[in-house]
Structure 1
Amino acid sequence: MAVVLTIALSAGCGTGGNGGSSVSGVMQSGGWVYYIQKGTLYSMKPDWTEKTKIADNFDVRVMIVQDDIIYYADNDMNVYKMMRDGTGKTNIMSGENIYGFEVSGEWLYYSVKPGIINRIKTDGTGKTKLADIDSFKGAMWVSGGSIYYIDGTSLMKMTEDGTGVVELGENLEINGFKDDWVYYSEVDQKGASLNINRMRQDGTENARLADVSFAAMDGDWLYYVKDDGWLYRSNLDGTGEEKLNNVNMWNLIGIWGEYIYYSDYEGPVYRIDLNGSNKMELK
């Protein structure tokens, strides 16, 4: 499956639009940084050159970048796709009360309130219901030919055609996927995320990696914050821990390569090196 990066703008996940900032939806994919500034979608190189306007009036709730295609849902949850230069805008689906969506290959998977998972081809054809869910929580992930979702307090998994439903565990929150591994945290009774763990995508070989708060994944690295306030990283198996910086990051947006993007409490979005140096505001 191609690498897919997602931002859920309405939920504040992966956004930098806090406290009145004019920048939101920062993400990096395929050698480009994407961000929304005052309702306009831009792209630029990671060294902040070649800033290019992609689309005006870009008020969206969810955005996914897959290869050179941008998929997004507007505030009415109409789902569109376009090329990364803003051309070829096409409506995929409209008129459904969806939570959000994921893209895998030629399929777009989406969840409908109060508890249905459907899929539709990215050209808008072949709509199919995959599952009715009793107490769907809204979060959904697609990886390695399977769909992961929360039903009540249970983390569930089924194949991309809706068959083979199995339960993987209780009170778990997915952090990310890499190769055949699912990275996840435990969720306590107050809803707080605890520890970083991983298991095979078939639910076997569970292992605790770190007794800390998950921060991000990028490439072959896990990033997390310890009680001392410092940001650390380790290999994906939890070994080789490195201490990086103690920058006060109110909202860590993402870590890509050698850069960290974050916003502070007042709202501005910044980029720093992994060690905390070379702070620059994204404008």
Structure 2
Amino acid sequence: MNDESVTRCGYVAIVGRPNVGKSTLLNHILGQKLAITSRKPQTTRHNMLGIKTEGAIQAVYVDTPGLHKNGEKALNRYMNKTASAALKDVDVVVFVVDRTRWTDEDQMVLERVQYVTGPVIVAVNKTDRLDEKGDLLPHLKWLSEQLPNAEVVPISAQHGQNLDLFEKLVAERLPENEHFFPEDQITDRSSRFLAAELVREKIMRQLGAELPYQITVEIEEFKQEGRILHIHALILVERDGQKKIIIGEKGERIKSIGQNARKDMEVLFDSKVMLNLWVKVKGGWSDDERALHSLGYHDQ
């Protein structure tokens, strides 16, 4: 194990195609919910830092959007650019893949990771869900051949299997550095950003296939008054039909989204929360570079 007296700190990019479990992995490492997750691919849109400090080791994880092939819309181009940029300035790259499934998008990420000169760890996720355990070894061997300098480790992010080994591998590859962040800080993101993401997650989870990606959330008010945190969130959609879907029959759907988001916010912000949600139609926002910029989608 590392010499306990050596202080190590560095950036660790978590990359992979959409929906392989990158955000779930980050949440389990941190021991709390920070990155939003849903079964729908492309849930993550921004790079977000998750900071884990244990003793002399501080690992600064960068949860990136999934790299995907169809980059026509401004939003999709932004997500690909954001994920690619993360590979350039980090100390360790974690390439997450889903069991033995291999797609064109995995191949595309692999081709980018092959150019990485620093340490690479391949995390083969969801291995607890493999029907044929015998298929795993040949796949691990194949991955090792594609990335001969990488360490390949099977994990289950959902159930925390093998994460101790995974974190040890990360720690050993971090450079000797003073810590970049205070030890109690777990993210670089503002509370407003996290609140908006929690609302977006609940919409994604409830509406899955019914709703396209053209949806974003803006926090218009975020203020603590006494023991209550007042949050007003605006949900932006592109068309009237989408607004109806989110509001639901007699407002039931938006009520349920609000209740679920509020519960998570109360845990995250350690406060009682009063949450108000509105839905507004703003046509074309996901394909308009200027609108994206005003909604907080810009290069960091």
More strand per residue? 1
Larger Rg: 2
Q: What's the TM-score bracket when you normalise by the shorter of the two chains?
A: 0.3 to 0.5
More helix per residue? 2
The TM-score, its normalising length taken from structure 1, stands at: 0.32
